Amino acid sequence: MNYDELFPKITSHAKEYGFVFPSSEIYDGLGAVYDYAQLGVELKNNIKTAWWKAMVQMHENIVGLDAAILMHPTTWKASGHVDAFSDPLIDNKDSKKRYRADVLIEDQIAKYESKSLKDTNKRAKKEGWEAGSEEYNKYLQGNRNAKKAQELHQQFEVALNSDDLDQLRNIIVEQGIACEVSGSKNWSEVRQFNLMFKTQLGATADSSMDLYLRPETAQGIFVNYLNVQKTSRQKLPFGIAQIGKAFRNEIVARQFIFRMREFEQMEMQFFIKPGTQKQWFEYWKEYRMNWHKALGIKEEFLQWHEHEKLAHYADGAEDIQFKFPFGFKELEGIHSRTDFDLSSHEEFSGKKLRYFDPETQESYVPYVVETSVGLDRTFLAHMSHAYQEEEVPNAKGGTDTRVVMKFHPLLAPYKAAVFPLVKKDGLPEIAMEIFKELKFEHNVMYDEKDSVGRRYRRHDAIGTPFCITVDHDTKEDNAVTVRDRDTLEQVRMPISEVRSYISKKLSWRDLLDW
Ligand code: GAP
């Protein structure tokens, strides 16, 4: 199976086993809104725990926060989101379908790149070049389609950086990009469309107030900066971390949980002395990349991407991209946000948001380096990375194909499953005792349905790292068989050792001590 063929398999696996369901599915769903099901919520909670431990528990100078989703509307004026948080949209006049102009152009670049790769592979086959060899790379970068991609990329970058909406439209027209529904090239002007969801506070029309659902969790941290700093008695540098929902009225809703309208972010704002932002930017870049690797993501699935166009608040920004089945895409952003947010909140609120530095006896607005990772994208990254189809030996001496989710054991929804070999002869009672012993520390499942082979397959498919089987010998030797999901190795051990065996394999210290 090729990795780029994986995406439909992941989406159906997520639904079939109870990781993710479309929201309100009995009403045919709601675009780009999803519910996390019984296994999904466990995986999601484990990712949150891994993040919280790495960010808050591992740093004596980072504390947590859980701010409300609804905030005073001036927050969004001050943050710049009312004026600048928008996407350039274009309508096809025949189908009335609305597109993001930048995405249409990015897709066109991707088309040229894909053609360029195909041409290169064809030529390499003919010439006998190895993939990655000097000749191969030269051709890959220099062929007709590669040049088209580069030229278009340059043109696009200029239009984007100068907010030139007319030029974005010109590019779409010149490239002959057609609507996927009508096939027509009859395009409207490009307009900016604000991504924030509006709602109202208060019951009556006269007294109501327009509010927004927060498009990022960060502003809840900025407006609480001084409260937290004073009550936690933290000195600079220090950070505030938060996990919570954010909402964006995304126009291009696709790629499953990659781009959602309601999603969760795990963000940390690190407040620092002005002038030290470069050093802290580098520190957090390295730390965050290490976190993804510690959770088992292989190095070749991760890369850095520097922003072409900086957000209105940033003086530096780089993304950690993950190799999703549909290509390398943003997973996390590390942003140097200067003093933009705090200064702006000072101005709009009229309240001082400064730090008195006891060493220099100066008072100043701190600078901020932010780490911002999408929880749902991290979830999708782990689903994509973990999914494997493998040939494994079966009881008849042949092989079976198994689907196995090779999650890091600390992320797996269930840490262990306990099976009685048969549903009689006192075996279920012993298995239930083991389940009761383990459940205080770990999320464990008791499972007695079907043959053991089928139970193994079921737990492979949901990523349970250990399966513990109670058989007839257990009654004699007080021992069980523990099977490892990845190596398929089966170890016989006394029941009294199972708890410490599992706990050793699930060590937060091993994960966090990099
Ligand atoms: N506070 C900075 C901020 O919000 P961002 O790059 O817009 O920066 C941060 O978002 C992260 O949130 C992204 O890297 C991505 O993982 C996640 N994210 C953003 N929009 C999303 C969406 N529509 N659906 C799912 N995740 C999203």
User: What domain range is 451 assigned to?
Assistant: 414-512
Q: Output the residue whose Cα is nearest ligand 1's atom 6.
A: 333
CA dihedral 48, 51, 57, 60 (to 10 degrees): -140
Q: Looking at the structure, do residues 384 and 419 belong to the same domain, yes or no?
A: no
Answer whether 374 contacts ligand 1 (Cβ < 6 A).
yes
**How many Å lie between the centroid of ligand 1 and the Cα of residue 372?**
7
Q: How many domains, in total, are found in the chain?
A: 3
pLDDT at 209: 84
Q: Looking at the structure, do residues 179 and 221 belong to the same domain, yes or no?
A: no
Q: Looking at the structure, do residues 221 and 333 belong to the same domain, yes or no?
A: yes
Is 348 inside any structural domain? yes
Strand pairing category for 238-247 and 62-65: parallel
**How many Å lie between the centroid of ligand 1 and the Cα of residue 256?**
15
Q: Looking at the structure, do residues 305 and 450 belong to the same domain, yes or no?
A: no
Residues in Cβ contact with 185 at an 8 Å cutoff, skipping those fewer than 6 apart: 173, 176, 177, 178, 179
Answer whether 215 contacts ligand 1 (Cβ < 6 A).
no
Answer whether 216 contacts ligand 1 (Cβ < 6 A).
yes
pLDDT at 295: 98
Answer whether 237 contacts ligand 1 (Cβ < 6 A).
no
Q: Looking at the structure, do residues 235 and 380 belong to the same domain, yes or no?
A: yes
**Ligand 1 pocket: which of 265, 291, 309, 336 to mutate (most atoms <8 Å of CB)?**
265
* Residue where a domain stops, chosen among 194, 226, 252: 194
Q: Looking at the structure, do residues 188 and 276 belong to the same domain, yes or no?
A: no
For residue 430, give the CATH number of its domain: 3.40.50.800
Q: Which atom of ligand 1 is nearest to the CA of 333?
A: 14
Which parts of the chain sit beneath pLDDT 50? none
How much is the pTM? 0.91
Structure-block tokens of residue 492: 């016989």
Q: Looking at the structure, do residues 239 and 185 belong to the same domain, yes or no?
A: no
Q: Which atom of ligand 1 is nearest to the CA of 250?
A: 23
Q: Looking at the structure, do residues 59 and 101 belong to the same domain, yes or no?
A: no
**Ligand 1 pocket: which of 103, 332, 372 to mutate (most atoms <8 Å of CB)?**
372
* Residue where a domain stops, chosen among 325, 356, 389: 389
CA distances from 10 to 231, 383, 386, 460 (A): 45, 7, 10, 15
Is 84 inside any structural domain? no
* Residue where a domain stops, chosen among 372, 389, 406: 389
Return the H-helix or E-strand segment holding 493: strand 490-494
Distance of CA 107 to the CA centre of its chain: 22
Q: Which atom of ligand 1 is nearest to the CA of 330?
A: 14
pLDDT at 204: 67
For residue 25, give the CATH number of its domain: 3.30.930.10
**Ligand 1 pocket: which of 377, 378, 380, 383 to mutate (most atoms <8 Å of CB)?**
377
Q: Which atom of ligand 1 is nearest to the CA of 372?
A: 9
Is 487 inside any structural domain? yes
Strand pairing category for 416-420 and 466-470: parallel
Peptide bond preceding 237: is omega within 30 degrees of 0, i.e. cis?
Answer: yes
Is 346 inside any structural domain? yes
Is 376 inside any structural domain? yes
Is 210 inside any structural domain? no
Is 209 inside any structural domain? no
Encode pLDDT of 90-135 as tens digits. 999 999 999 999 999 999 999 999 999 999 999 999 999 998 899 9
**How many Å lie between the centroid of ligand 1 and the Cα of residue 268?**
13
Is 407 inside any structural domain? no
Answer whether 336 contacts ligand 1 (Cβ < 6 A).
no
Q: Looking at the structure, do residues 302 and 376 belong to the same domain, yes or no?
A: yes
